[in-house]
Structure 1
Amino acid sequence: MNKHIEGFSKLTKEQKIEWLTATYFEESEQASKLLKQYWNEDAQLQKLHDEFIENTLSNFYLPFAIAPNFLINEKVYSIPMTIEESSVVAAAGKAAKFWQNRGGFTAKVLSTEKIGQVHFMYSGSKEKLTAFFEQIKGRLISDCAHITANMEKRGGGILDIELKDKTGELEQYYQLHCTFNTLDAMGANFINSCLEQFSKTFTEEARSYTAFDETERQIRIVMSILSNYVPNCVVRAEVSCPIEELNEDKGISPEEFAEKFIDAVNIAKVEPYRAVTHNKGIMNGVDAVVLATGNDFRAVEAGIHAYAARDGKYSSLTDAAVEDGIFKFWIELPLALGTVGGLTSLHPLVKLALEMLGKPSAKELMQVVAVAGLAQNFAALRSLITTGIQKGHMKMHLLNILNQLQASEEEKVYFVNYFKDKTVTHSQVVDAFNKLRAKA
């Protein structure tokens, strides 16, 4: 069958499903039914979701949960999390409970600068280009007044524009390196609009700059785009307590716990193979909150992993130490987040999540997200250096296995009790399940 189609985007949703299911599925009616099963019964709500992206056929559900009892800067939060991985929310909740009676989490935003760049090629005199830039820098900013007016009223806007010579890395390559403060907006559209205006003014002014020869006037703009690497938009979160308060009931003394914990962090500092998994655990917490609050988790992921390699080697995002008998564990993350614009004002669950957090500013949301990442890492390391990671993870995964086996509700209750004091593995669950069914 020919799987090529022209004008797919112009079809109605029903026609798109009809073509898709007829082309790719033997059981086309069953596939069509499944897609429609996830439509929202509220037609207006479904229309809203349909218009978020192109060629929408259905909704793809992820669990929306909360991790309660997070004490952050002396204020209690229930943190919304959207994620499919079992044990993540449970681990966050356990970490929150552990630190609630030990002073909780502290967090502060260190800086909020965001970056965009105009990338261009130029083959003339560097001295002339520098003089030209200094002459028109003010014009670049003033020509953006129609874009920046509202942002400036709220206290944000363009912070600076620099000319950067990158010809040592790529022949003829220069850039306008631009910094912004976008306040509570993530600011992607604002920054990109400013950058495109910069490039327009820059090339127009170059054509009439008398010091340039004809070749030098032909500045070639390659692209104008924000950067998701924001090393100067950083938040820090921390927990600390006297070593003796690290009282564990897992057969390990507080002193040994602190020593092994710091060793585990330091191993992730020097060993990239461990650091990737270490940081992935942090992102379990970060991404879940970023997604639940309608922010761009792909941008956050890219920026954070670049930050983890900023010294030329991929390394842990967290640090731990003991100073004067006090155990300290902290994280610094680059986070460009928004609480206005985009999905934050459109998606009903996003609006609910932000209301649950007290309608936070972007800075407050940065703090909550950093704490979620730190809590997740604490929970993971706590398990790794004591009972091991699989015991808790597989307990949470037990229901997934039972659902795959199509267990009844009574069977689920039975097996949750059965495996209370046993290590859960997939093969053991299947064997026990088959034996129970055989008896029945």
Structure 2
Amino acid sequence: MELISGFSKLSKEEKIKWIAQQLGDSSDELLEQFSSFWHNDPHQQRVFDEFSENTLTNYYMPFGVVPNVILNGETLAVPMTIEESSVVAAASKAAKFWQSRGGFHSEIISTKKIGQVHFLWKGDYNKMYCIFDEAKEQMLKDTADITKNMRQRGGGILDIELLDMCHLDDNYYQIKATFDTCDSMGANFINSCLEQFAKTLQNWIASNEIFTDEERDITIIMCILSNYTPECLVKTWVECPIEDLGIVDGLDAQTFALKFFKAIEIAKNDVYRATTHNKGIFNGIDAVVLATGNDFRAIEACGHAYAARSGQYRSLSDCSIENGIFKFWLEMPIAVGTVGGLTSLHPLSKRSLEMLGNPSAPKLMQIISALGLAQNFGAIKSLTTTGIQKGHMKMHLLNILRNFEATEKEVKQAVEHFKNNTVSFNSVREFLATIRTHA
């Protein structure tokens, strides 16, 4: 690729033409391919184009649904956006399994979010600490206009703390603030408050006679929310008497429960297994997060940090077998919004929230958590019974057949054949070769 100046100022068609030149392709051919994915409504396409920068086209992802999810007694159809085969099917099977066993239960533990002002200061920490309430009061006054609407909705700034971080770096301090952003993700709200905190702190120190001239010198490093939100916490679980598990893919209830429990213990103690285990949880979580227009990267970063909070990366889910009761649960931070941002702009995000009954942010936390738990249950159930490949490869069969450009007739024959045969890339290739030879 050649270097180019002013690329962002080019029209979309000019950008595509430049890309085509770099690839040695026909610009008309590339434009035709890319434009085939544009929305047929020019206004809606402009909305999509403005989500990001240097947009060329739209990238389609499957938008599916998991019906029959019973959560706290309510039946939901949960939208999922994901390209990986078997995820929606596994979540649907898990929802069906628990449908007759009480469904999913969930509770919100806390909804606090965190923001930080990082700064360098050579003054006397104890001196500032003793009168910091004055600064805190001024910060609340100076952010009153920013927080007015949020406070009217029941949220706002919950607390402001001064933290001595000099054990990590010389002269390093923090203002750590906690927020309740109600139904919004709140990133812009939090960051605006933090930047005002920094200005207030600088002015307060500069004008306060208790500080020496040297102590009035403060360097603000940065003001930013944290995506680690260990107090924005939701817990979701399923439970039933062990005997109510019934025969699970050929295993009696007691054997299945024990193997399942041991699988979770392994994921709690072995980082290699924990990583794949938690990836499976995020298969369910990310798909709902994407469908509802939320930030899956922030939720994943937070979830992985939370999984390592003990100093070792561990399973996010847990299991117990006590007094004849099987219980499986997921407790983790999930910070989402249901108003503002992409949730209000993307037509399918709005439709997703409508399908879910236009939930509050706390309720959406519970729904997302339930699908993470459902996906995890489905994966562990397969791993401890029939094995993961049997179901996964059957779901993957159609993708393999498309790879070999199978006709509709060949697809029907292959689906029937592989109902009782192991699916693999080679076995599908050999089967197609056989039926094509005899065609």
- 1:214 aligned to 2:216? no
In structure 2, the partner of 1:125 is 124
In structure 2, the partner of 1:394 is 393
User: SS at 2:110's partner residue?
Assistant: coil
- Following the alignment from structure 1 to structure 2, what is the Cα–Cα distance between the partners of residues 339 and 275? 30
CA deviation vs aligned residue, 1:69-108 (integer Å, no higher than 9, x gap) = 0010000000100000000000000000000000101001
CA shift, 1:433, in A, is 1.5
- Counterpart contact for 1:132–1:209, Cα < 8 Å: no
- Counterpart contact for 2:68–2:77, Cα < 8 Å: yes
Q: Which amino acid aligns with 1:122?
A: W
CA deviation vs aligned residue, 1:258-308 (integer Å, no higher than 9, x gap) = 000000000100101100000000000000000000000000000010000
- Following the alignment from structure 2 to structure 1, what is the Cα–Cα distance between the partners of residues 97 and 355? 22
Pick which of 277-286 and 35-44 moved more. 35-44
- Counterpart contact for 1:247–1:254, Cα < 8 Å: yes
Q: Which runs of 5+ in 1 are unaligned?
A: none
- 1:349 aligned to 2:348? yes
User: SS at 1:69's partner residue?
Assistant: strand
Alignment RMSD: 1.1
- Following the alignment from structure 2 to structure 1, what is the Cα–Cα distance between the partners of residues 272 and 205? 49
Residues 394-413 of structure 1: pairs in structure 2 closer than 5 A: 394-413=393-412
Pick which of 78-87 and 45-54 moved more. 45-54
- Following the alignment from structure 1 to structure 2, what is the Cα–Cα distance between the partners of residues 303 and 186? 14
- Following the alignment from structure 1 to structure 2, what is the Cα–Cα distance between the partners of residues 249 and 231? 35
- Counterpart contact for 2:248–2:256, Cα < 8 Å: no
- 1:161 aligned to 2:160? yes
- Following the alignment from structure 1 to structure 2, what is the Cα–Cα distance between the partners of residues 73 and 288? 21
Q: Which amino acid aligns with 1:238?
A: W
- Following the alignment from structure 2 to structure 1, what is the Cα–Cα distance between the partners of residues 31 and 217? 55
Residues 144-293 of structure 1: pairs in structure 2 closer than 5 A: 144-293=143-292
- Following the alignment from structure 2 to structure 1, what is the Cα–Cα distance between the partners of residues 122 and 62? 54
Q: Quick one: structure 1 residues 278 and 249, their matched pair in 2 at CA, closer, same or farther if it must change by over 3 Å?
A: closer
- Counterpart contact for 2:198–2:223, Cα < 8 Å: yes
CA shift, 1:133, in A, is 2.3
In structure 1, the partner of 2:102 is 103
- Counterpart contact for 1:25–1:31, Cα < 8 Å: no
Paired residues, number? 439
Q: Which amino acid aligns with 2:63?
A: F
Q: Which runs of 5+ in 2 are unaligned?
A: none
In structure 2, the partner of 1:314 is 313
With normalisation by structure 2, the TM-score equals 0.98
CA shift, 1:132, in A, is 4.6
- Following the alignment from structure 2 to structure 1, what is the Cα–Cα distance between the partners of residues 436 and 14? 44
User: SS at 2:166's partner residue?
Assistant: coil
User: SS at 1:407's partner residue?
Assistant: coil
- Following the alignment from structure 1 to structure 2, what is the Cα–Cα distance between the partners of residues 291 and 106? 23
- Following the alignment from structure 1 to structure 2, what is the Cα–Cα distance between the partners of residues 239 and 365? 18
User: SS at 1:110's partner residue?
Assistant: strand
User: SS at 2:111's partner residue?
Assistant: coil
- Following the alignment from structure 2 to structure 1, what is the Cα–Cα distance between the partners of residues 433 and 238? 46
Pick which of 32-41 and 71-80 moved more. 32-41
CA shift, 1:405, in A, is 1.3
- 1:41 aligned to 2:40? yes
CA shift, 1:408, in A, is 1.5
Q: Which amino acid aligns with 1:222?
A: I
CA shift, 1:67, in A, is 0.5
CA shift, 1:212, in A, is 1.7
In structure 2, the partner of 1:116 is 115
**Identical-residue share of aligned pairs (%):** 55
- Following the alignment from structure 1 to structure 2, what is the Cα–Cα distance between the partners of residues 20 and 73? 51
With normalisation by structure 1, the TM-score equals 0.98
In structure 2, the partner of 1:301 is 300
